[in-house]
Amino acid sequence: MRGLIKAHKEGTPIHQVVNFKNAPSYKLAKMLTDVLKSRLPLPNMYNVQNSTHLMNDISQILFVPGLKLASLDISNMYTNIPTKELIRIINSICKNHNIEDTITREIIAITNLIIMQNYFSFQDKTYTQNNGIAMGAPTSSFLSEIYLQFLENTKIFKILKEKKVIGYFRYSSSTMETQPTPIKFSNHSTIYHRA
């Protein structure tokens, strides 16, 4: 296992990098990723590709006095993805895109298999990751994207609309909002909205 230092975070924690290439399901996970990307197009409504894209999006927002930006980060994203809900979301997306029942069942079966192959080796010991999706698996990035976009297009969309949030952007697991008045949430996150 390797690690990357998160210099942008307090205390500069180390983000573990897990090598999944030696896992028995590695090739199957790569194939599943390709199938999911080709069969389940995602809307990417809130995604930004890089800092230039973010700056272009922010520059489209009319500046008003008191406008504030809030930046949020998802902690331990892969281990916090609820896998049973993820499977239901994938099944629903397949139905919404009129994917044949046989193919949908195969996608679900293979996704479940990949999710269950949630172990890794470190210093000659094998460990099982008890929650979420496998760190280092080729599927994890796309599976987490499916889950995050589902949340954004359902629950988060409702909050943004209700609280009159004027900008919401996400790059991977980090989000940025632009609003003048703070809103407190139970998880101690703060976003801002136009009063």
For residue 2, being part of any structural domain is answered with: no
Please count the structural domains in the chain: 1
Give the model's pLDDT for residue 174.
52
Give the model's pLDDT for residue 8.
64
For residue 185, being part of any structural domain is answered with: yes
Give the model's pLDDT for residue 189.
38
Q: 107: which 2 tokens?
A: 């996608």
For residue 157, being part of any structural domain is answered with: yes
Give the model's pLDDT for residue 25.
85
Sign (positive/negative) of CA torsion 58, 191, 189, 168? negative
For residue 7, being part of any structural domain is answered with: no
The structure's pTM equals 0.78
Q: Which three-class secondary structure state does DSSP give residue 16?
A: strand
For residue 182, being part of any structural domain is answered with: yes
Give the model's pLDDT for residue 61.
86
Q: How far apart are CA 74 and CA 154, in angstroms?
A: 18
Q: 75: which 2 tokens?
A: 């902690």
Give the model's pLDDT for residue 139.
93
For residue 12, being part of any structural domain is answered with: no
Look up the domain containing 37 and give its range. Answer: 23-193
For residue 99, being part of any structural domain is answered with: yes
Give the model's pLDDT for residue 33.
94
Task: Specify the residue for token string 């199938």.
Answer: 35
Partnered with residue 15 across adjacent β-strands are 4
List of E strands, the chain: 2-5, 14-17, 68-73, 119-122, 125-128, 168-171, 174-179, 181-184, 190-193
Q: Which three-class secondary structure state does DSSP give residue 60?
A: coil
Q: Are strands 168-171 and 174-179 parallel, antiparallel or unpaired?
A: antiparallel
Give the model's pLDDT for residue 182.
47
Chunked into runs of 10 residues, the chain (195 residues) has average pLDDT values of: 66 69 85 94 86 87 82 82 96 96 97 86 77 87 94 91 85 58 41 38
For residue 83, being part of any structural domain is answered with: yes
Give the model's pLDDT for residue 27.
92
